[in-house]
Amino acid sequence: MEPLQLVTRIGAGIYRRRKLMAVLVFSLCFVVVGTIGYFGYRKPPRYRAAATIVLKGSADSIPLFEEWAPKRPIYIQMAILQSRSLAESVLTSLPKAAIDELIQNRYYRDYQLDLTNHYRKLIGQEPIVYSPQRIALDELQFARIGFRSTRDGLVTINAEASDSRVAVDLVNTYIEVLLARTRSFNIEDAKTAREYLENQLADVKRNLKGSEESLASFTKSRGGVRVPDQSQATLVRLSTLEGQLAEVQAEKKMAHTRLAALKQKLESQKPAPAGEPAAARPAGPQPNVLRMQGTLAQLESQLLELNTKYTDEHPRVLLVKDRINELQRQIAATIKEITPVTPAPGVVASSDRVSFANSVLALEASLVTLGAQEEALSNQAAILKKNLSGLSGDEHEYSRLGRDLDSNQRLYSLISEKLSGARIREQGEMQQVKVIDPPTFPTPVPSSNTLALFGITLMVSLAVGLGIPALVEYAAMPADQEDDILKATNLPVLGAIPAVRKNGQASTVPGVVPLLWSRRAALPERTNGSARGQQDDLSFFIEAFRRTRSSIQLATMDRQVKSLLVLSPFDQEGKSTVLFNLGMSFWEIGKRVILADADFYRPTLHKSLKVSAHAGFVDFMKGQASLQHAMVPVAEGLWVSTRGSALPAQGRGMLTSARVREVVDEMSREADMVFIDSSPLLIVPDNLFLAASVDAVILVAKAGETRLKDLSKCKELLDKVGANVLGVVLNEVPLAQLKQYYKRYYRSYLKKEEAK
């Protein structure tokens, strides 16, 4: 049998016969496994506390350090939140009760460590045991704290613990450490920026004062100088470009100073410990970066020219701006790939590694962008200066002094604005992290261990609840289908008899009304309601025996068969019912029929037909009664020969004599068909000698109960004595199973008859 067919067969068998077993086994297993798991793996209750914060960061693009201190993008701030360094800082700030709870009530399980320790035990090595500090850190990072973020920067921090107070402490400590770290970084950075900007502002202030004095002195000594009208527009444009160039140069100088400070920080830190990678220094300009910087300078020049002709919303201006932004992103990505900036643990504090790396990369990208802008502005300014070659010396000097004054004024305003921002940040004002909702009151949460236990219990119960009935079904492998019987015994199925009920009881031999088999009643009268349904089922029952009779007639066309022995492997399989109804089916077509009871231990025919148990088959076989006295007439052409007196143990030897054949032959001469009932073959094998004396043998199997291997064993025993086995009658087949094959045609036929 193919695997798919076998699985389908077993599944159908469970559905038909073993549903109750499956439900009982599943229920019992669920209760037992669930109880053991609950009490064996019960964990303390869990409580969850939550808080909401907002993280403000710049867009994911190249920062130009407009306020000197770099802003961290949201994804970088989330990485800091989930980093091990932050968890280490939180662990050092937690109260002792919280740390003890992390160590004693462990939620996180390192399965890789478990497998490693199992292997080390097998090879005789000591298992790896983590320190309490490591256990608490793993609990904090992998099991107790969770972060859920949104695109607008809102972050929910969830903490779970077996103690409600510990859950609140975990959330509060995470927020406090994050605020302190961000504030410390900003204050340190803002202090450096403020000191540098104060020096720059003092220099610019001196330059501005010098420019004002130079312009005043020139005007006083030379008088008012009037620049020709045709050069006024060029001078205004040149003044704007030089002002922009001064701002870009100032920004570039700031970026260089900041990068130099980071390098100095690298030099001042102690070297990396042995065995750890040394700190990588920012790499110098690479050819591909220089090439992109030249392209960016050309685009900046195009943008400057377009700004003199079109507004900022013009499509050509917008197109060039988009190309500039895309090229800036490419530059940043390239610098990130070619510039190793992650410092070793011994060089930069673990709490500042992410911020340090982000700052270095941003500075490198910003320097490339500012260099391109400086180059574009310088080229444009040089072109405009050539256009002013027609001016006199005084006019050139006057215009230069005016442009210097404008540039210094713009620089003074720019640096003053940045200095104000640096002073505000140095005071500790937080702009990147703000608490929206403090930790909520802890709420109980279902343990993941409980949910996992329920799932495991359910799966185990399903496997056992289906596996045991499947094994029972496979071991039994009852006769259900004609193909199974044919493969197991190499015998055809002569007929399939449905299991019908009459008046709420299972149909047996006396349950079939003899009038239904009358020659004058080929089909029963049909009524309405439930009675009509019962009549339909009985009619279907009778038609099944008529089909079986036809199969027997077709199987015996080439030889004369008058005596048939009906056998079954065990009792309660319906062989007496089959014998009686087969006899009635032959009787209704005009055959003279004798029904003989050769079940020497448990005779049933006399009870079924309510015939007195006087002289019968045994008496006739022993010669104590004639055939006429051993038979009781039931109807015209129908006789029943009961067992009669009991067969003693000494009389069993008679079964091996020629007398058995003589008895069968004499009955065959008296009637057209002789049907002989017998004992179950696998329980009482004495009737094997009777099987060798009759013309043919019919095996009866009960659908869903008789095992295929029992049928096969019966066939082997009958073959050894030379019995002629016609086939198998499959008894008590579920009515619905047969109706789907036959009843629709049967009803269609009845409707046509009624219409006539």
Average pLDDT score over residue span 67-93: 73
Strand partners, 434: 54
| Cα–Cα distance measured from residue 743 to residue 720, given in angstroms and rounded to the nearest whole number | 40
**Between residues 527 and 33, the one the model is more confident about:** 33
| Cα–Cα distance measured from residue 423 to residue 511, given in angstroms and rounded to the nearest whole number | 108
CB atoms closer than 10 angstroms to residue 695: 19
Neighbour-count burial for 574-610, b at 16+ CB within 10 Å, e otherwise: bbbbbbbbbbbbbbbeebebbbbbbbbeebbbbebbe
**Model confidence over 551-592: pLDDT tens digits?**
999 988 888 899 999 999 998 888 888 999 999 999 999 999
Q: Specify the number of domains making up the chain.
A: 3
Over 80: is that where the pLDDT of 430 sits?
A: no
Q: Which of 154-158, 212-216, 238-242, 523-527 has the lowest mean pLDDT?
A: 523-527
Mark whether 486 and 456 lie in a shared domain. no
Average pLDDT score over residue span 296-315: 82
**Between residues 703 and 345, the one the model is more confident about:** 703
Residue 203, in any domain of the structure: no
Mark whether 454 and 490 lie in a shared domain. no
Mark whether 245 and 166 lie in a shared domain. no
Q: Which of 417-421, 528-532, 578-582 has the lowest mean pLDDT?
A: 528-532
| Residue 232 vs residues 381, 391, 410, 448: alpha-carbon distances, Å | 15, 11, 20, 78
**Model confidence over 674-728: pLDDT tens digits?**
999 988 999 888 778 889 899 999 999 998 888 888 999 999 999 999 999 999 9
Residue 541, in any domain of the structure: yes
Residue 408, in any domain of the structure: no
CB atoms closer than 10 angstroms to residue 267: 9
Which segment, 514-518, 519-523, 677-681, is predicted with the most confidence on average?
677-681
The CATH number of whichever domain residue 693 belongs to comes to 3.40.50.300
Mark whether 596 and 739 lie in a shared domain. yes
Q: So what's the pLDDT on residue 754?
A: 57
Q: Which of 33-47, 499-513, 671-685 has the lowest mean pLDDT?
A: 499-513
Mark whether 518 and 385 lie in a shared domain. no
Over 60: is that where the pLDDT of 415 sits?
A: yes
Nearest to 706 by CA among 739, 673, 729: 729
pLDDT band at 70 (very low <50, low <70, confident <90, very high): very low
pLDDT band at 66 (very low <50, low <70, confident <90, very high): very low
| Cα–Cα distance measured from residue 414 to residue 411, given in angstroms and rounded to the nearest whole number | 5
Q: So what's the pLDDT on residue 353?
A: 54
**Model confidence over 263-293: pLDDT tens digits?**
666 555 444 444 444 444 444 556 777 788 7
Average pLDDT score over residue span 489-508: 71
Mark whether 748 and 667 lie in a shared domain. yes
Asked whether 558 and 533 are in contact (CB, 8 A), the reply is: no
pLDDT band at 756 (very low <50, low <70, confident <90, very high): low
Average pLDDT score over residue span 17-28: 89
Residue 1, in any domain of the structure: no
Q: So what's the pLDDT on residue 615?
A: 80
Residue 325, in any domain of the structure: yes
pLDDT band at 441 (very low <50, low <70, confident <90, very high): confident
pTM for the whole structure = 0.47
Mark whether 500 and 644 lie in a shared domain. yes
Average pLDDT score over residue span 13-19: 81
Nearest to 160 by CA among 444, 435, 452: 444
Mark whether 35 and 176 lie in a shared domain. yes
Residue range of the domain that includes 238: 228-390
| Cα–Cα distance measured from residue 74 to residue 58, given in angstroms and rounded to the nearest whole number | 8
**Model confidence over 129-163: pLDDT tens digits?**
999 999 999 999 888 999 988 767 788 999 999 88
To the nearest whole percent, how much of the chain has pLDDT over 90? Answer: 19
Mark whether 595 and 707 lie in a shared domain. yes
pLDDT band at 59 (very low <50, low <70, confident <90, very high): very low
**Model confidence over 307-343: pLDDT tens digits?**
777 888 888 888 888 888 888 888 877 776 766 555 4
Residue 409, in any domain of the structure: no
DSSP 732: E
Q: So what's the pLDDT on residue 649?
A: 64
Q: So what's the pLDDT on residue 370?
A: 83
Residue 250, in any domain of the structure: yes
Compute the half-sphere exposure of residue 586: CA atoms within 13 Å on the CB side of its CA. Answer: 27
Mark whether 53 and 96 lie in a shared domain. yes
Mark whether 448 and 499 lie in a shared domain. no
Mark whether 166 and 271 lie in a shared domain. no
Q: Contacts by 187-192 with C-beta closer than 8 Å and gap 24+?
A: 187/425, 187/426, 187/428, 189/68, 189/69, 189/425, 190/68, 190/69, 190/422, 190/423, 190/424, 190/425, 190/426, 191/426, 192/258, 192/261
Tokens linked to 94: 């937690």
Over 90: is that where the pLDDT of 672 sits?
A: yes
pLDDT band at 749 (very low <50, low <70, confident <90, very high): low
Residue 169, in any domain of the structure: yes
Q: So what's the pLDDT on residue 431?
A: 56
pLDDT band at 511 (very low <50, low <70, confident <90, very high): very low
Over 50: is that where the pLDDT of 493 sits?
A: yes
**What is the SS3 assignment for 117?**
helix
The C-alpha angle with vertex 443 and arms to 437 and 449, in degrees rounded to 5, equals 125
